[in-house]
Amino acid sequence: MDLELLDQTLADRDEPRFRARQVWTWAARGARGYEQMTDLPASLREALARELPFSSLTLQAEAQASDGTVKALFATADGRPLEAVLMRYRDGRRSLCLSSQSGCALTCTFCATGRMPFARNLSASEIVDQALHFRRAEAARGGRRDAGGAKAPRGREGTAGPAAITHCAFMGMGEPMLNLDNVLGACERLPDIGIGHRRTTISTVGWIPGIERLAEEQMPLRLALSLHAADEALRSELMPVNERFPLRDVIDACRAFHARKRRRVFVEYVMLAGVNDRYEQALALARALSSGPTGGRSRGGQPAFKVNLIPYNPTDSPYTGSTREAIASFRGALEAHGVPCTVRLTRGREIDAACGQLAARAS
């Protein structure tokens, strides 16, 4: 829902100020429309239904994979495409992948979004509406278990009942640091939906001004860096933005973030066969992440970085994903050199869940 327009609509009607909060609280708990907001006067509910679309996004298509991953393709009111993904895990975690822009102005060569035209930044409301879509869907799904969905019991971070969404990452379309005001505006709202700041990750290509701003930000948000190569020339080939913000400076900015926030930075590394998955490249990555005055560790001894190896989700690109064996040995080499490392589970492959794939297909 367009929250600015909500304020405006309520002000135009001389409604008391607490009404906006009431409407938002219902929406954040998974209400499906104004008609469910029973503590609002009926006339106001009808007026809102007439004047203010319940969501700023229209669902265009939705695909569900057998592992429970759901991918949604939306359009904004001016017809711009964007996507969001919900991943459900066996341990009860539910994690969202949100878009910050429609399309992307950066041109990473392996990424489907990078080959779409950039449309525009999403507003904070358009970002929040992606999360609300899944909040409603999960409330409806869990309705049998948690007493009516919209009335799901709420508690502290991550304890909002079985239908709660617990985590989110800005790993959908777009570069969140190039739309940071709206991304942070959306982040302020997410705890009401059940997603705490400590469980919210902002992923960047390494846009240094954004990393610096996030280091000064009050909200304890997580930072993830899409690195993909520890060598300047190869990284520039994969991610042209490296010409503007070279790897070395980006890693320094992430170290400063870690020193300031005491929060470990996730390094994303998409595994491309024969391109960035060789043993020497793992050693170079370990060196890049552990060099520096304190050997890559904070004074408390915790490593500043944790690497997340990402199996490549094939798109219409010249790349193929590394084999499982290559990923395992790359991980072994990193760990042998003291760099903590995990391999990301592949989710939703049969529904084209990788960044930009659904929108690219629909366009």
Q: Can residue 312 be called a binding residue for ligand SAH (CB under 6 A)?
A: yes
Q: Closest distance between ligand SAH and the C-beta of residue 330, in Å?
A: 15
Q: How many angstroms separate the CA atoms of 293 and 249, rounded?
A: 14
Q: Can residue 270 be called a binding residue for ligand SAH (CB under 6 A)?
A: yes
Q: Closest distance between ligand SAH and the C-beta of residue 160, in Å?
A: 26
83 is catalytic: yes
For residues 334 and 269, the answer to whether their CB atoms sit within 8 Å is no
The residue within the footprint of ligand SAH, chosen from 6, 48, 304, 310 (CB under 6 A), is: 310
Helix axes 42-51, 3-12, angle to 10 degrees: 130
Contacts with ligand SAH: how many residues (CB under 6 A)?
16
The residue within the footprint of ligand SAH, chosen from 55, 56, 121, 204 (CB under 6 A), is: 204
User: Phi and psi of 224, rounded to 5°?
Assistant: -125, 140
The residue within the footprint of ligand SAH, chosen from 203, 242, 290, 322 (CB under 6 A), is: 203
CA distances from 168 to 96, 147, 222, 250 (A): 4, 25, 10, 23
Q: Which DSSP string do the residues of 131-182 spell out, in sequence order?
A: HHHHHHHHHHHHTTTTTSSTT----STT-S-TT---EEEE-SSS-GGGGHHH
- Judged by CB under 6 A, the chain residues 230 through 249 that form the site for ligand SAH are none
The residue within the footprint of ligand SAH, chosen from 355, 358, 359, 360 (CB under 6 A), is: 355
Of these residues, 83, 126, 138, 175, which one is catalytic? 83
Helix segments in 110-198, DSSP class H:
124-142, 180-193
Q: Which DSSP string do the residues of 300-351 spell out, in sequence order?
A: T--BSEEEEEEE----SSS--BPPHHHHHHHHHHHHHTT--EEEPPP--GGG
The residue within the footprint of ligand SAH, chosen from 313, 322, 333, 360 (CB under 6 A), is: 313
The pair of three-digit structure tokens given for residue 287, joined into one six-digit string: 């060196």
The pair of three-digit structure tokens given for residue 215, joined into one six-digit string: 């280091």
The residue within the footprint of ligand SAH, chosen from 47, 86, 171, 230 (CB under 6 A), is: 171
355 is catalytic: yes
Residue indicated by tokens 């024969």 = 274
- Judged by CB under 6 A, the chain residues 94 through 133 that form the site for ligand SAH are 110-111
The residue within the footprint of ligand SAH, chosen from 309, 354, 358, 360 (CB under 6 A), is: 354
Q: Can residue 180 be called a binding residue for ligand SAH (CB under 6 A)?
A: no
Q: Which of 290, 318, 329 is nearest to 306 (CA)?
A: 290
Neighbouring C-beta atoms of residue 182, cutoff 10 Å: 19
Task: Tell me whether residue 28 or residue 205 sits nearer to ligand SAH (CB atom).
Answer: 205
Which of the ranges 10-18, 133-141, 285-293, 308-316 carries the binding residues for ligand SAH, by CB under 6 A?
Answer: 308-316
Which of the ranges 35-43, 246-254, 306-314, 327-335 carries the binding residues for ligand SAH, by CB under 6 A?
Answer: 306-314
Of these residues, 104, 108, 168, 355, which one is catalytic? 355
The residue ranges that bind ligand SAH (CB under 6 A) are 110-111, 171, 175, 203-205, 226, 268, 270, 310, 312-313, 315, 354-355
